[in-house]
A and B are shown apart, each in its own frame.
Chain A
C-alpha cells in the first residue's frame, strides 16, 4: 500500500506535466493554424468530428485528463491513504485532492473569468510540488505501527 501510495503521487505529478505540455502544444498549433489563414471561433470548439488542426487534441486531452483522470487518481490516492498507514499520509492525500478540486474549478471558471487562468497555471505547480513531496516523504517517515500484511505492501 505504501508503495502504491507513492506511485500514485508520482502519477499525479506526471499527469500534470502532460497537462502543461498539452496546453502549450494546443496554443502553438492554434497560432500556426491562424497564421495559415484559419479562423478560430466558438463553432470550431463545438464542432464534432474532423479536427481543423491536429493540435486540437491538446485541448481535448487536457480537458479529459483534467476533468476525469486526475480527479479519479486523486480520489484513489485518498482511499489508498486510509489503508497505507503513512504518518500524515491521509493529510497529504487530502491536500492533493483539495488542490485538484480547486484546479478543476479554476479551469472551468477561467472560461468566464480569464484572470483565474493565471491561478490555474500557478496551482498546477502547487499540485506537482505537493504530490512529489508527498511521495518522497513516504520513504522518510516510519510506518505508523507494526508492519503487517495489511499495512505493508
Chain B
C-alpha cells in the first residue's frame, strides 16, 4: 500500500494524475454550472427551470452532454478547418490549466509555483487567442465581429485585471498563491478585500469581463451578432466552448476568493477544519459564482465604446491611484505591514 502511495507521489505520475483529476473536475464543473445557471435564472424569472430529467432535474447536464455528443459537427463550407476545430481546444485548455496552481486547501495544490500569479495572467491571456481563431476560422461576418470585439475587450480588461493584483502582491510579498493565502490567516478582518477594497471591486469587474459575462458579453452579443464568435459551432465543439466559458467563470471566482477573500482560510480562527478547509474555498467560490449569475440575469449589455471607456477611464485610474495609496502606506508605516 505504502509503495503504491509512494509511486503515486513520484513526480511525473503525480502531475499526470493531478491533471487528470483537475480535467475531470473542470469538465464536471461546467456541467454543474450550466445546471446552476439555469436554475438561478429560472428563480430570478419566476419559473422552475429544468425539473424533468432525474430527481429535481439534476441529470439535465448529463442529458445535455449526451445530446451534444450525438449531434453532428457542422462546419461552414469555406471555413479554415484546422483553425475552426482548434479554437475550442485553444479556449478550453488554458481555462483548465490554470486550475493547476489554485490552492484548494492547505496541502491540496497541484503545483505551488512561486510565480503562480504570473502563470494565471499568462494563461488567461491565451484565451483571447482561441476566441480570435474561432472568429477568423468560421469565415462569417458575425463571427469576425464577435472575435474583434472579444480580442479588444479581453486585451483591454487584462490591464485593470493585472493592476488590481499588484496591491495584493505587494502586501503579501509573494507571487505564489499559497503564500498569498497564508498571509491572510487569522480571521476575515485579515483578508485583503478590506485594505484593497477598490482593487477587489476592480478585479471583480475585470474578471466578469474576462469571463465574458453580462454586462460584458459583447463577443457573444446574443441579440445583435447572435452568438458572435461561436455562431457557426455546433455539437461538441460548441459544447467545449461553452465548457471553457463556464470554466473561466469558475476560475475567475476561485482566484477572486483566493486573492481577496482568504482562499481556504476560515472566516474565524475557531472554524478551522484542517485538511477540510477546501469547504471554505468552495463556499466562497460558489458565492462569487452566484453573484455572477445574479448580474447576468439582471442587467442589459454595454456597447463596445462604453465598455472601452469604462475600462480605460474608470478602472485603470482607480487601480493606479490605489496602487500609490498602498505603496505610500507601506512606506509610511512599515511596522504595520
A and B form one complex: no
* Chain B residues close to A by CB (< 8 Å): none
* Chain A residues close to B by CB (< 8 Å): none
